[in-house]
Structure 1
Amino acid sequence: MGDNKLIILKERNYFMWKKPWMMTQEWHHVLFLHWSVSPEEIRKYIPAELELNLYKGKAWIGFVFFQVKENRPRFMPCLPGLQSFLELNVRTYVTYKGKAGAYFFSLDANNPFIVKLATFGKFLPYRNAEINFKKHKKTFSIHSKCEYENESLLTTFEPVARPLESTQLNTWLTERYCLWTKTNGQLFRVDISHSPWRLQNATGIVYENTMTSFLKGNYKEERPLAHYSRLKKARLYPPVLEN
């Protein structure tokens, strides 16, 4: 990523952090898995108000796994039973009135209390899932299973030791500072702030992938782009109703 673009990202996040945030989290052992897909394949599954954000004519599906720690609301300590959980989300990339961000098809978590809070009023598509995360030497394994939707992911990966130099594509895929969700016919935006990602390449194998069962294409047969980041501290902001 060029110096000018990095400065813009840092300035944008600096001003975002000045806003009154709602919640803070630490994201540990973040794994990004990305596949390119046909725009026609997913267009009908996102709200009509949102435009697909394409990279060289392709839409992208992203799986993002991480371990949440130190989850707490502003001005409050971590609450017992809510401060830590595992999460696997599935997203694509969109724009609204020129602003780029993400749209989530699902957010799976292994904490039923978090799922219940996040799905209040059907605000976000959180789902209860059984998620296991293990580390053996330098290799990590993830097994997530959402029984209600019969969707699962089983993968092992190993981060490449040295940091990855930012490229236009991996920056485009990972530097996303807002998400949109639609509930009761209204479109909301949730802003997120954190420092730019410091990524590492990751090598591994996807043994099982029945996520995004609504997509009928064969993108899962391709090897995904895989990136890893050890730790990111983030802040989430109150929802904004879009006009």
Structure 2
Amino acid sequence: MKKPWIMAQTWRDLVFLHWPISPDALRPFVPEELEIDLFEGRAWVGVVPFIADHTRLRFSLPFPIVGTYRELNVRTYVTCNGRSGVYFFSLDADSLPAVKAASAGRFLPYRYARMKVVKKDRRYAFTSRLAKPVIGESFRMGFTPSAGMLEASELERWLTERYCLWTKPKTVLYRVDIDHVPWQLQKIHIEIAENSLAGFLPAGWNRQEPLAHFSALQKTRFYPPVKETI
């Protein structure tokens, strides 16, 4: 039986950006216990910027310091023991307390970054740059969501309806289950001005126009980590 959830969070103004990629390009960077999930023979890399809001533990009010912050993650999709979920290459946030808490013991690959979100009328501008310039990863984009919800295709559901993540701090693989209602997706117009994320991937992996979607609001719950037995 699944244990009670331990943390809740609301995701706002979230953008899904997805690029197809060869699974061989990802294999060296994904734990061997996880199988890279494929759709019609292709793996996918996702870049997901959003605002994390109302972060709180069960039976508590939102944290006054880290309750709201901006986040940008780079991910791919994997399977293990019959489940399909997410594996994160990086998770950047502009809250140092949130980064320290989430990356304690190297449990998740969080990094501190300077981020900004500006909204004017219906258009957003999102920027992110790692606080340590020597690493040099940065991301800048503008986007405008379209009115109305879309009926998701099989691929769109495959990319977005993921209800667990895996992480492998040191030598132990853990799974964290996530609960939320199905995504309400909108079409979106994007302009990516800069994207130097995931420099370990082959040059040009993000050269083509990505599949892009927007979701205004998603309330989520996180469950305790479970040691994955292979």
With the length of structure 2 as denominator, give the TM-score of the two structures: 0.96
Runs of 4+ in 1 over 2 A off after TM superposition: none
Aligned to 2:162: 176
Q: CA RMSD in A?
A: 1.1
Where does structure 1 lack aligned partners over 5 or more consecutive residues?
A: 1-14
Which runs of 5 or more structure 2 residues have no equivalent in the other structure? none
- 1:201 alignment counterpart: 187
Distance 2:78 2:146 in 1: 30
Shift in Å at residue 136 of structure 1?
1.0
Shift of 1:154: 0.4
2:216 aligned partner:
230
The AA in structure 1 aligned to 2:198 is T
What is the aligned counterpart of 2:91 among 107, 120, 127?
107
TM-score normalised to structure 1 length: 0.91
Indicate the residue corresponding to 2:70 in structure 1: 86
The separation in 1 between residues aligned to 2:173 and 2:194, in whole angstroms, is 33
1:242 aligns with 2:225: no
Cα distance in 1 between the residues matched to 2:55 and 2:131: 25
Structure 2 equivalent of residue 96 of structure 1: 80
Residue 3 (structure 1) aligns with: none
The structure that is helix-richer by fraction is: 1
Count of residue correspondences: 227
Q: Distance in 1 between matches of 2:69 and 2:63?
A: 12
Aligned partner letter, 2:221: R
Residue by residue over 1:169-215, the C-alpha shift from the partner in whole angstroms, topping out at 9 and shown as x without a partner, is 11000000000000120000000000000100111111100000111
* Amino acid in structure 1 at the alignment position of 2:32: A
Q: 1:216 aligned to 2:202?
A: yes
Q: Is the 8 A contact 2:99 2:110 kept in 1?
A: yes
- Partner Cα separation in structure 2 for residue 75 and residue 150 of structure 1: 40
- Deviation string for 1:57-93 (max 9, x for gaps)? 1110001111111100011112220111000011000
CA distance in 2, matches of 1:36, 1:114: 30
